[in-house]
Structure 1
Amino acid sequence: MAASTMGPESNFQRSFCAMADFQPASDSPTTDGNHFAETRLWEPDDTISRQEEDIAFAAELMRSGIASEREIAANVSDWSIHGNVSLAEHLQKRSFLKPEQIDSLRQLALQRVDGARMSAAGGSEFGSGSGGGGQSLLLATLERLDGSGRVAKLLGVTVASRGGEQDARVMEGRYELIRKIGQGGLGRVWLARDVNLNRYVALKEISRSKGVSDAVVQRFKHEAEITGRLDHPSIVPIYQLGEDVASKRLFYAMRFLGRSTLEDSIIEYHERREDGDEDPMLLRHLLTAFVNVCHAIGYAHSRKVIHRDLKPENVVIDSFGQVIVIDWGLAKVVDETSVESLMDSGTIGSGDRTAEGQVLGTPLYMAPEQAAGRLDELDYRTDIYGLGAILFAIVSGHAPHEKTQRDSVNSGVGARGMISVIAGGETPSAREASSSVDPALDAVCRKAMARRRYARYQRATDLGEDVQRWMAGEPVTAYRENHWQRVNRWVSSHQRLTQFLIAAAMVVLVVLTTMAMTARQNRLAALHTRFSQMNGDVRELQIQLRGVATELSRDVRFTASLPPIEGIIAARNGQEGEDEETWRERLQTIFTGMLRSNPDYLTLGFEAMKNGGDAEDIVRVERNPAYPSLIRVLPQSRLKTIESDPLADQVALLEPGDVKLSLEPRKQDPIDSFGLERLIVATPVFSGASGECFGMTVIEADISTRVQEVLAGLGTLEYELFVADGEGQVWAMADPERGVRMAASAQKIPDLPEAVAEKLMGKPQPFELHVEDQYIARRFYVDPTGRGVLLFGRLHAE
């Protein structure tokens, strides 16, 4: 099908930016072949203007690389190209550039202007056009000075020009019809192939080639033009409006979307529910699609267009899940000065109207004002009723007026009776159609479909936002919850906090119960209470320490996944891309930021593994223990290679994502004189190209400080509590008299019970020993191959 373009020819718009003295353009449009849309340049002369020199100077400064674009922007923030001071003088006053740099850049800038003028004078792109030759030449000169527009963006001045009539483009297209995919009262839709671009499109044309009234043609054009002006990802795009050369049949081409509609998805969702598939994500997918429809309609409303026939059948979901609103045949541009009559609406027959042809829209999803034929009352809120009807269908599986239609058929009143009921009946309830509908969503539907337009949502985006609030577990504006519902929703939205409050309530309950019993119990009962408290604190301490290990494991896995890691490996393997030094600097920056964000981290490193179990430092960033705020990046001259590193041997045997935790000091670690116990966490790094283990990322953390913080968080203790490694070497301790303190080097737990000492000397495995009202000993491992952690609490008999 050959096609000629319909409608006015669009001018080719050419815009670019240039810094110049400019004046506001005249309010009346010019008729020159090359005229200005909003601004115009100064009149050119034979001399180089200061503005031209400033533009060229800025362009040359950016090109030279003397300063970054951000530095230049900071230094010109208090300068204007329209002032009396040139850019060079301004930068010289700020001491931003040296005098010799300014002189050199000035000479290059003047040469740049001369070259741009000669190039523009010799070109033909801006030489045509009546009455604007000088201005066109100046525009061309400025474009050559700042073709990329970066200088314009930097200095914030824009000059735009329009193409003239000679710049218009006329095109012809050709479409091959493949098969018919739809038929309506006004037109039919074909699957067609765009021969020029070799792509499939949907082509809609008027059904009859002869005897078509002018009103039909205008309505068809109106549909294409309205759809074409709505440029939104969720509104079907129009490619071309044309007329077949041979048959003179009017058509327009648009994106081919397939045949899967929101109605199909709704049917499938409710069929699955009936079969027992209660996956809540299915409903969330539908509601997400609905929110996209709300945004699309909200955009159309912002362009003063209303759809007037919203229903699930007119929402297409393509193969990639994108939601598209189609069929804008009943759309109308909202104009408060226009009047639409029943005769106007009935000029074209459509399957979407009643048999009488006096009502716009689809009865099953129709608003009361549409059913009543009050066309002058149709506005944005009519579409909001349609959106509410779509939401009604999603949550209930039925169209809003489906029951009305069924009752009309059974009673024999027919279509007229159904339309009358819709016009004067009550707002349908989604919960009455399906008892499983959430009350909040039912309230949203009721508000969107309120009989009175002022009672509905006033914007489509407000309706979409309420649905999003429901999906996020937040209260919706359309529904007032009772106290139990508020508590239930709060609990669902704050599960962790709820668990904490429940646990806190249980602790309080235990404490209160214990206090009540203490009044009637003897000293042994009081001792038993302290033992229970000690047991709870030991468990809490174990949870906290496991959390520290989990946090470190997560962070070391994150470092192993950083792009600079793979970049360094690729560079060492000779692959194309940036060099190793560049990737190393980026990794150093990331490691430095992580150390600043985690005050307990002592070092972050990336090491390569060598034959024989050696570990070579590639990047190492460390904190000064004496001055924790001082973070230093080790230069290459100080990077080390650890020979026969046990940690490297152990990490090399791990699978991707596995983590090794160790308390064993490494050869490259300094001897800490600040009471620091290092917890080392490492994970292997594999080459993306070969799949072999290349090295490992390592985090060393001050576990002693973390342990001390956790102990301090327990509050005042009524017993002795020791935190040690799995072999009994103490890290920290706390007691009622001296509080929390760090242990001396190689200190052991004093007066350790014989049963606990035997366990420590035996096979390294987890254990828990306790003697009622005396002590608790618990050893656990965060790393099966490590030394483990021992928690020991002891009561003193009174």
Structure 2
Amino acid sequence: MSDEAKPPLESLQTNDDRYAATLLFEPDECISRQEQDIALAAELLNSGIVNDREITAAVSDWSMHGSLSLEKHLENRGLLKAEQLGTLKERAAKRVDRARQSIAGGSEMPAAGQSLLLATLERLDGSGRVAKLLGVTVAARAGDHDARAMQGRYEIIRKLGQGGLGRVWLARDVNLNRHVALKEISHAAGASEKVVERFKHEAEITGRLDHPSIVPIYQLGEDLETGRAFYTMRFLGRTTLQDSISEYHERREEGDEDPMLLRRLLSAFVNVCHAIGHAHSRKVIHRDLKPENVVIDSFGQVIVIDWGLAKVIDDASVESVMDSVTVGSADRTSEGQVLGTPLYMAPEQAAGRLDELDHRTDIYGLGSILFSIVTGYAPHERTQKASIDSGVGARGMISVIASGVTPSAREAHPNADPALDAICRKAMARRRYARYQNATDLAEDVQRWMAGEPVTAYQETSWQRVNRWVSQHQRLTQSLVAAAMVVLVALTTLAMAARQNHLSELHNRFSEMEGDVREVSLQLQSIAQEMSEDTRFLASLPPIQGIVNATSGVEGEDEEVWRGRLETIFVGMLGSSPDYLALTFEQKQGEGTSDIVRVERSPADPTLIRILPESRRQTVENDDLMTAVANLEPGDVKFTLEDRARHANVAANLDRFSAATPVYGDVSGECFGMTVIETNISKRIKEVLLGLGAVDCEMFIADGSGELWASVNPGRGVHMAHPGQRIPNLPPQVAEHLAVKGEPFDVQSEDEYVAERFYVDPTGRGVTIFARLPEDE
């Protein structure tokens, strides 16, 4: 267009016309520079290369209205590498192109009365993060295309913010003449049915929670004219907990170390814990806890927001809340999907194990918020930066988080209080059972720290207890031992600091070892419980009683018919239970037994399941297991690790663990025989130990007398024992307990070892588990 053909800028009647015309008249001047700077800032904030606080510090002495571009300023500051800056420039250029194309199409023009800068900020960064970085408010009144009344009750005033799912407006409730926040789906015209369902589900979940620290929902509905789904809630301020955390750490880095600021943040955190505890009591989990989702209003009240990923669990009464959502809808997420914000994500979330997400996943999220308060960084911020630097990207970052390595607050901030670090570690423990089991316990530990009391997650040293006593009796201490304390502190500060760090690390490793012992104990007892239930199930099968009756002369079907049916059931069960070696139904013969049906797995080829023909069925004249089982009540189970005479000619390298239960005749009431399940106990123990993953201790699994079956340690991994081998170098206390046969025990020496013996069969040999930290520690 020639200069003569261009209309005078002042002659254009509307703000939309002037905005489009400015792009036409000044493509390489004011708007072009602003677009480039804003787009580059948006890409920098989204990249994760540096955190928001570092970006804020970098642009504190730069203005987009000056002569220096943001690109040049960042280059001068050396905040980014040349290749990183080049990649961001390319992404920023694409962002500007998309924005200009939308302008050319005439969509989403700026609101009337809105400045060109605000319009550019909204178009290039709808999230508002760049505007917040630059200290520019983007809250302008609604444009003509947004000015409307919802259901004739709510008048849209101005936009407050926008996220991935919805955008929030400040609106006036005409009926009650009050301001409310109104949230609607961002792009209602193109929203799928699943998105609408998820939006409604967010409102329904939030609405069922009645707590002062959870944003109250006023109404959920659809606009009568446009059909847009929306809900209204209390209008809150724009200050988030993340803003307060950033301010605290900026002041701390500048030398303004005010302990009251930290205590205010921790008090806000305690309120968040109580709000989440209330949600858990209503069977609701948030699944996206982070400082940005906690708002602090003008009077300091703490409110948890953004329940878009929330889920109701383990409660049949919630169907009324969920009945508008069909299976597979937006709120139901497929296994393997990753939910949440990666910087604050629990390992089970990162791994996509959605069936494992429960209230303890929220405990991890609360621990992440506390980590941010203590250090100023998100827990996985270093992981994000390392993933970007190494080039593995977001998938690599998710994989590292899923591995479950617990971040250390003292690594991110060396001056962090070790007790707060221990609270963070416990809340964000890799294993869910090792975390706090409810939000109230976490809040109580933080409150105990604020009150100067010991916390449950941290083992105080004697010196710390003395220091606390001194702080509570200052006058007496000053009058009696002031001079001595000065000398003592001067001589022992460095030594005690080192000891404190060592004890803290040792205690954490001991706690992890306790968890491993507990896990192995539960797994082994679970194996016995499973075999017990399956053995009773076999004894209750109809073909069992059919064979008993046929053998006893009771009229009915022939024994061979029942035997065939039983063989079919045994084959199917053995095929579905790969850990079992054999299933047997044996008849009592005096002091011995004879096989009626035996189905076993081939030792050479575990996939081969075979039914023993009549010619190979064994009769044993003396069978101790049958003698013991014959004295049991119906339903009781006998376990044994002893070799039976029938096993003399079969795979000698198999350590068989057998479970047997008696079978009584319905007519005679006498013990007819027993059903037996056999498993390879060495193989099962090895699988349990391998399931622990990497361990940082020595662990031994033995029978009740101490005869070793298997061991695991950091250097050798899992090792199966030789016959007759025993647990080496047992502490005297454990050896004394082990010498008393038939009595279970559970003993430990703090930060040294854990020992446990239990019996799944009171008359059996029992199981002993002994674990200790390596001697060089």
TM-score w.r.t. length of structure 2: 0.40
Q: Which has the larger radius of gyration?
A: 1
Q: Which structure would you say has the larger RCO, counting Cα contacts within 8 Å and 6 or more residues apart?
A: 1
